[in-house]
Amino acid sequence: MKIFVINAGSSSLKYQLIDMNTEKVMAKGLCERIGIEGSKLTHKPAGKDEYVVESPMPTHTAGIKLVLDALCDEKHGVISSLSDITAVGHRVVHGGEMFSKSTLITEEVKKALEVCSEFAPLHNPANLIGINAIEEAMGKDIPQVGVFDTAFHQTMPAKAFMYGIPYKYYENDKIRRYGFHGTSHRFVSAEAAKLLGKPIEELNIITVHLGNGSSVAAVKGGKCIDTSMGFTPLAGMLMGTRCGCVDPAIIPILMDKYNLSTKEINNIMNKESGVYGISGVSSDFRDLATAADEGNARAQLALDMFMYQTKSYIASYAAAMGGVDAIVFTAGVGENSPDVREGAIEGMEFMGIKMDKEKNKVRGTVDITAPESKTKVLVIPTNEELMIAKDTKDLVK
Ligand code: ADP
Per residue in 248-264, pLDDT tens?
Answer: 999 999 999 999 999 99
Measured between alpha carbons, how far is 81 from 179 in angstroms, rounded to an integer? 38
Q: Which of 57, 59, 81 is nearest to 69 (CA)?
A: 81
Q: Check 19, 49, 84, 149 and give the catalytic one.
A: 149
CB atoms within 10 A of CB 175: 17
Per residue in 369-381, pLDDT tens?
Answer: 999 999 999 999 9
Ordered domains of the chain (ranges, CATH)? 2-148 (3.30.420.40), 197-379 (3.30.420.40)
Question: Number of helices (H) and strands (E), helices first, in the chain?
Answer: 14, 14
Ligand 1 pocket list (CB less than 6 A): 211-213, 240, 284-286, 331-333, 336-337
pLDDT given for residue 118 in this prediction: 86
* Type of residue numbered 48: K
CA-331 nearest atom, ligand 1: 6
Give me the mean pLDDT over the 36-40 stretch.
Answer: 93
Per residue in 172-205, pLDDT tens?
Answer: 999 999 999 999 999 999 999 999 999 999 999 9
CA-213 nearest atom, ligand 1: 2
Q: Give, in order, the Cα–Cα distances in Å from 52 to each of 32, 39, 42.
A: 11, 11, 5
pLDDT given for residue 120 in this prediction: 84
The pTM assigned to this predicted structure is: 0.95
Q: What is the SS3 assignment for 333?
A: helix
Length of the chain: 397
Measured between alpha carbons, how far is 80 from 71 in angstroms, rounded to an integer? 8
> What is the distance in A from the centroid of ligand 1 to the CA of 278?
18
Measured between alpha carbons, how far is 349 from 306 in angstroms, rounded to an integer? 20
> What is the distance in A from the centroid of ligand 1 to the CA of 327?
19
> What is the distance in A from the centroid of ligand 1 to the CA of 102?
27
Q: Where are the alpha helices (DSSP H) in the chain?
A: 60-72, 107-116, 124-138, 158-161, 168-173, 182-196, 250-258, 262-271, 274-279, 285-293, 297-321, 331-336, 338-345, 384-396
* Type of residue numbered 327: I
Dihedral (Cα; 268, 272, 274, 275), 10-degree rounding: -160
Question: What is the best residue among 91, 207, 209, 212 to mutate for testing ligand 1's pocket, by most ligand atoms within 8 Å of CB?
Answer: 212
CA-289 nearest atom, ligand 1: 25
149 belongs to the catalytic site: yes
Residue 37 makes CB contacts below 8 A (sequence gap 6+) with none
Confidence of residue 122 (pLDDT cuts 50, 70, 90): confident
